[in-house]
Amino acid sequence: MIEATIPTEAAFEVVIGLEVHSQLLTKSKMFCGCKTGYANEAPNTHVCPICMGMPGVMPVINDEAVTYTIMTALALNCSIPEYSKFDRKNYPYPDLMKGYQISQYDVPLSLGGYLTLNLHGQERRIGITRVHLEEDTARLSHHPGYSLIDVNRAGTPLMEIVSEPDMRSPEEARLYMQKMREILVYLGVSSGRMEEGSLRCDANISIRPFGQQELGVKTEIKNMNSFRSVEHALEYEVQRQIAIVREGGVIRQETRGWVENRGVTVSQRSKEQAHDYRYFPEPDLPPLLISRERVEGIRVLLPELPDTRRARYVAEYGLPELDTNVLTEDKALGDYFEQVMQASKVKDRKARAKSASNWLLSEVVRLLNTQSRSIQESSLTPAALVNLLDLLDKERLTGKQAKEVLAEAFTSGELPEVIVEKKGIKPPITDQGMLEQIVEEVIAKNAKIASDYQGGKTNALQALVGQVMKQTRGQAKADTVQLLLRKKLDGPQA
């Protein structure tokens, strides 16, 4: 008798490709003069006959959107053909006022690039098929028995970045999305706000037995609006597809939506084929001719990208990898760090970089979190942080005092030296003899704790440090006090 072998989960390879949509930070819409900043505006106030899809109106290409798309394509190592064009994608959904979307079909603005990411210390190169330009749709909101439409979003420039099916796990897809967001924010072309829907992502996902060349039937997953939901939705979908195949079923090509609160994907509709859209060249727009001078002009003006910045922080400042990763992940924080370094007039640049990074990533970030503010919204200027670091270098403040001064500067926006003066903060005790005397007094007064420490309770030392700090009203440096206490208590061998 032959037993059928049921393939195990490990027998399947996961294949994922992502389509990322990003609204572009242009001032006006893609083909009309309507302003894009509609986030806090009443519905249907940022509209005109063009984005309302009235018959007989003529669209005009937003040149800034074209520049932003070329910038992105170059940052993703794509080539920019000299000739491209816009096409009509016919689309029978109510969120498109015209009954079609202006998009790009067979000759997009750019082709064939890649993005590199780091997966558990290994460099992975994910192919980029194309970056093209289209327009966003209107927003529908569904209510019991009726639906409402807000046309403010319709016509907003929307850039689509299509990857090759090169990702092999949901985790890799999340890393790709995070890296993509970083690049778009560094370029200044996208707000990067997934939670607001200005940056969105759809995934094509399939499974196949290891070793098989042919791709399996894919499903398209929508509605993933955070990095976490990208990973979770794809993990769920992998399991769902494997279960179907193991039970001898067939995976249907379809579009599925991720339902965050239930943690499942559900079928939305069967997937359209390209011919369902009846693409044809947009007759109301001229072809898009991109000169080589324009491409090179944009290339030289590209800002520093996150990978380059990371490498520079290591080479120039000798910062450890953990620091560079956190400082570059959030562009605003990295920019702030640079301003601190620029305003720092010190000889030892590396030591200053390390102390600036330490204070930024611990105390400053902590204060920002307690007030739910970003670094740009804080009243602490880079000059104020430099001033604090200078006072620490000059040993004018202890670490403990510096934290208090920083918290004050954080709310008042004043310079630390002004706060020190105003509050009459005394300089740290540098007189070694005086400090030793206080240490001896504290040991004498706390004989029990001292003998506990000598008996092996190392934690007891902190209690003694605390007592000395209290005696000196915080004017002693904690690490010096600790050293002196050890010297006295550990005996001559220390």
CB of 155 to Zn ion, least distance (A): 5
CB of 289 to Zn ion, least distance (A): 25
Handedness of CA 191, 196, 197, 203 (dihedral sign): positive
Rg (CA), the chain: 30
CB of 52 to Zn ion, least distance (A): 7
With contacts defined by CB under 5 A, how many residues of the chain interact with Zn ion? 5
| Assigned token pair, 59 | 């669209």
With 0-12 CB in 10 A as exposed, 13-18 as middle and 19+ as buried, what is 8? exposed
Residues 429, 349: Cα–Cα separation, whole Å? 27
Single-letter amino acid code for the residue at 469: M
Stretch that binds Zn ion, among 43-51, 125-133, 365-373, 449-457 (CB under 5 A): 43-51
Nearer to Zn ion, 48 or 61 (CB): 48
CB of 23 to Zn ion, least distance (A): 15
CB of 69 to Zn ion, least distance (A): 20
Nearer to Zn ion, 29 or 181 (CB): 29
CB of 63 to Zn ion, least distance (A): 16
Nearer to Zn ion, 25 or 50 (CB): 50
Residues 111, 162: Cα–Cα separation, whole Å? 10
Single-letter amino acid code for the residue at 80: I
CB of 57 to Zn ion, least distance (A): 9
Nearer to Zn ion, 48 or 463 (CB): 48
Nearer to Zn ion, 34 or 194 (CB): 34
Residues 457, 460: Cα–Cα separation, whole Å? 6
Contacts of 273 (CB under 8 A, 6+ apart): none
The yes or no reply on residue 51 touching Zn ion (CB under 5 A) is yes
Nearer to Zn ion, 35 or 426 (CB): 35
The yes or no reply on residue 302 touching Zn ion (CB under 5 A) is no
The yes or no reply on residue 245 touching Zn ion (CB under 5 A) is no
Q: Convert residues 11-40 into a mask of x (bound to Zn ion by CB under 5 A) and - (unbound).
A: ---------------------x-x------
The yes or no reply on residue 97 touching Zn ion (CB under 5 A) is no
Contacts of 111 (CB under 8 A, 6+ apart): 78, 79, 81, 129, 130
| Assigned token pair, 196 | 């607001």
The yes or no reply on residue 48 touching Zn ion (CB under 5 A) is yes
Cα–Cα distance list, 270 to 18, 221, 255, 256, 344 (Å): 19, 12, 6, 9, 60
The contact set with Zn ion (CB under 5 A) reads: 32, 34, 48, 50-51
